[in-house]
Structure 1
Amino acid sequence: MFCILFLSLFTASAIAEEKDGSLPRLADVTAAQSFIDAAEVVVIGFFQSEDSDGYKEFVASAAEVSPLPVALCSEKEVWATYSVTSDTISVFRKADQHQENLKLSDAKKVDSEGLTRFFRINELRYITEYNAVTAVGLFNSEVKTHLLLFVNRGNNDFTALKTKLGALAPEYTGKFLFVLVNGALQSNARSMGYFGLKSHDLPRVGIYDGDADRKWLMPPGKISTERVREFCDSFLKGTLQEQEEDTKQDSKIEL
């Protein structure tokens, strides 16, 4: 009982609440790391004080992106741990093990609307739904290979497939970004067309290699965890690329 009480008091002192009770303050490295580890994506505002430029705008935008976890930190020991040297807003995400920084002294203009967009652009999760905003973050990520689930929202399998691939995604952290493309949206027709797909062909799974600008579709059939895992592994081993090259070679011979 004493240990539980001690840990509760320690946690309370390490993660203190703001005066208005809206945003937690991270008082040490342990608290900061615990906050980062607790969710797929989190945001930390590293501000020296409440008088810092961009502070009020940050607090305002934090309210707009709820339930995205957002915290504040003014402790220089924590700053040093995450390579922060001046007032900075950082998005930490597990999908590609990345820390995206917005150094406020380098920003031409800081307003709550712009910060909200910065959060949304960089809010990449284990499985991220593709749209005009998230596309920027997806293509700016250092991970250039995407595992895509094409499925129509409203389809009976939509939620189950999203959950299934979302659970598989952590196995490929830093190797693939898992992306959901809603085939029921006309705005996604171009993305599906790149893979030669139409709404009535879904659901399907594909891989896009941004470095080589190449694509592959998993053969039609049941979309199971095992099949998707084999599909991903075949790309990582290079066998998927080799099979395509063999097909191209066979076509040349036939011609």
Structure 2
Amino acid sequence: MRRYSLLFFVLTVWAWTLNGEGAGEEGVEAPEEATPEPPSDELLEEDDILVLTQHNFGRALQEHRYLLVEFYAPWCGHCRALAPEYAKAASLLKNESSELKLAKVDGPAEKELAEEFGVTGYPALKFFKDGNRSQPVEFTGPREAEGIVRWLKRRLGPSATRLETEAEAAQFIDSQDIVIVGFFKDLQDEDVAGFLAIAEDAVDLTFGLTDRPELFQKYDLSRDTVVLFKKFDEGRADFPVDEELGLDQADLTHFLVVHSMHLVTEFNSQTSSKIFEARILNHLLLFINQTLSPHRELLKGFQEAAPAFRGEILFVVVDVAGENDHVLQYFGMNATDAPTLRLINVETTKKYVPGAGGEITAASVSAFCQDVLSGKVKPHLRSQEIPADWDQKPVKVLVGKNFEEVAFDASKNVFVKFYAPWCTHCKEMAQTWEDLAEKYKDREDIVIAELDSTANELEAFAIRGFPTLKYFPAGPDRKVIEYKSSRDLETFSKFLDNGGVLPEPEPKEPEVPLPEAGANDSKDHKDEL
């Protein structure tokens, strides 16, 4: 069969050669290849949004002084969620300015553009001004239509209102619940540029600016100062500019976030993002039922304790009668546990509980905060009770109370799955974990276990994602190895059989390249063709 295939191949080549020679004798010229048209730089739109490519990007920069560009990927869920908001923002801005335009780029399809602008994830939004291609500004605003519009308007117009008279200042300060006014004796000073840069990004706040001596006097200021005026709590907070070091933008940004929040913030869907963006690591939570008068009376003492810890501990009220079941679940509580306090460090996730039976007063709240900050109170670790049959099945059941004893048993190699009952990925790998335990159930030196991290907390480390897989090799050193490879039975087995390390893949034999057409190949190579 191989011989006939070879013969057919040779005859076909000969026929092609003879036909070619005959055509040449007739003098028929081969048709000229059409010259491809150069790629068009035409600017097309979808939903008032420019669709940009490598070929028309430069033209878009030339024709629009301000250009916000979204780099997206068709398969990206976050990109799909942003799409209607981005289109709405484009519609809102349609009649604002001919100089401003929103655009989008398919990042995976336009790899050169994505690489040029350092796009490493999607969606990525970059703002171009005055045709400057080399230094786009990262978009830092909210990713909803109104927030996108506010962010852009800050960059098109002045980011702070110039205040000239006492009447203007008074009207400006009274116009919002929170306003920030920069008092600078010299508006050409570089500190002013730093202040305005912060104002451009902080689109949820309103900024003013003045250099008028009468306004310095009116507000009892003798040096450059940024003042946050607010219609709650203490009414005003001052940030004096260091006369030697100048204005520190990071410090001022943190100051504005901290002092724009109420001393006591109620946790809800509107405030949750601000609570976590405040960059205050310690949060003190008062759990009360707002429908009960005795519970509401506790707010007074809670609020009295707050000023001494501003910037160090964030005071938060959680209404157990509201839609906050997920918060209660996270702390392992029920609504009937209120009123009570919990303090959490959001970086370490360590939680602290006050002594039982104490009243919630300004004095007791202050004392509890001081004791936690000084290390006098140990973290509270939740744990389920040890099940009676925890070690009767192939997968051993660990809880906080037996974790140390089992995981750090010097005679065992222990492989633990840390999971959450609601986690989809955990559910998907559950059967594989059962199969793994069944495979090694007769190995005295290997233990396959699992721990519900939503109901059990550990002092050794915090679990931040699910599922998390950790291997505790036998020995006295208390080593912990995090498993980050494929979650299938074969790979798990290789990992265990190799002592908690995946073996290096065997080197592949180098591939022999196929010969080029027309080469003097051996008969075997030609038969393969």
Per-residue deviation at 1:75? Answer: 2.5
Question: Match of 2:342, as an amino acid?
Answer: G
User: Is 1:147 equivalent to 2:300 in the alignment?
Assistant: no
Matched residue, 2:321: 184
8 Å contact from structure 2 (residues 282, 314) kept in 1: yes
Matched residue, 1:23: 172
Matched residue, 1:165: 302
Matched residue, 1:81: 224
8 Å contact from structure 2 (residues 225, 238) kept in 1: no
SS of equivalent residue, structure 2 residue 293:
coil
Measured in 1, the distance between the counterparts of 2:353 and 2:298 equals: 16
Measured in 2, the distance between the counterparts of 1:45 and 1:127 equals: 24
8 Å contact from structure 1 (residues 121, 135) kept in 2: no
SS of equivalent residue, structure 1 residue 18:
helix
Structure 2: which 5+ residue stretches go unaligned?
Answer: 1-163, 188-203, 217-222, 240-255, 384-398, 407-529
Per-residue deviation at 1:212? Answer: 0.3
Per mean C-alpha deviation after superposition, the further-off stretch among 216-225 and 201-210 is 216-225
Per-residue deviation at 1:244? Answer: 4.6
- Alpha carbons of structure 1 residues 194 and 150: separation in structure 2 relative to 1, 3 Å: same
Per-residue deviation at 1:218? Answer: 2.2
8 Å contact from structure 1 (residues 145, 209) kept in 2: yes
Measured in 2, the distance between the counterparts of 1:24 and 1:122 equals: 16
Measured in 1, the distance between the counterparts of 2:318 and 2:260 equals: 16
User: Is 1:204 equivalent to 2:340 in the alignment?
Assistant: yes
User: Is 1:226 equivalent to 2:363 in the alignment?
Assistant: yes
Of Structure 1 and Structure 2, which has the larger fraction of its residues in helix? 1
TM alignment of 1:121-132, pairs within 5 A: 123-132=260-269
Question: Match of 2:368, as an amino acid?
Answer: F
SS of equivalent residue, structure 2 residue 284:
strand
Greater relative contact order (Cα 8 A, min sep 6): structure 1 or 2?
1
Measured in 1, the distance between the counterparts of 2:282 and 2:360 equals: 19
Measured in 2, the distance between the counterparts of 1:213 and 1:98 equals: 32
- Alpha carbons of structure 1 residues 141 and 98: separation in structure 2 relative to 1, 3 Å: farther
- Alpha carbons of structure 1 residues 235 and 15: separation in structure 2 relative to 1, 3 Å: farther
Deviations for 1:59-99, whole angstroms, at most 9, x for unmatched residues?
xx99xxxxxxx774333898x93579xxxxx78898xx898
8 Å contact from structure 2 (residues 321, 335) kept in 1: yes
8 Å contact from structure 1 (residues 121, 137) kept in 2: no
- Alpha carbons of structure 1 residues 136 and 15: separation in structure 2 relative to 1, 3 Å: farther
Per-residue deviation at 1:185? Answer: 0.6
8 Å contact from structure 1 (residues 192, 198) kept in 2: yes
Measured in 1, the distance between the counterparts of 2:279 and 2:341 equals: 22
Per-residue deviation at 1:250? Answer: 8.2
Q: TM-score, normalised by structure 1?
A: 0.54
- Alpha carbons of structure 1 residues 98 and 129: separation in structure 2 relative to 1, 3 Å: farther
Identity %: 23
Matched residue, 2:49: none
Question: Match of 2:299, as an amino acid?
Answer: K
8 Å contact from structure 1 (residues 121, 134) kept in 2: no
Measured in 2, the distance between the counterparts of 1:15 and 1:150 equals: 47
Per-residue deviation at 1:162? Answer: 1.2
Per-residue deviation at 1:230? Answer: 2.4
Aligned residues: 179
Runs of 4+ in 1 over 4 A off after TM superposition: 45-48, 90-94, 119-122, 247-255
- Alpha carbons of structure 1 residues 154 and 231: separation in structure 2 relative to 1, 3 Å: same
Per-residue deviation at 1:18? Answer: 2.8
Measured in 2, the distance between the counterparts of 1:98 and 1:145 equals: 23
8 Å contact from structure 1 (residues 24, 71) kept in 2: no
Per-residue deviation at 1:157? Answer: 2.3
Question: Match of 1:169, as an amino acid?
Answer: A
SS of equivalent residue, structure 1 residue 153:
coil
Deviations for 1:33-52, whole angstroms, at most 9, x for unmatched residues?
xxxxxxxx84225699xxxx
CA RMSD of aligned residues (A): 4.5
8 Å contact from structure 2 (residues 350, 380) kept in 1: no
- Alpha carbons of structure 1 residues 81 and 134: separation in structure 2 relative to 1, 3 Å: farther
TM alignment of 1:59-70, pairs within 5 A: none
Per-residue deviation at 1:155? Answer: 1.2
Per-residue deviation at 1:15? Answer: 7.3
Per-residue deviation at 1:236? Answer: 0.7
Deviations for 1:212-232, whole angstroms, at most 9, x for unmatched residues?
012122244322333222221
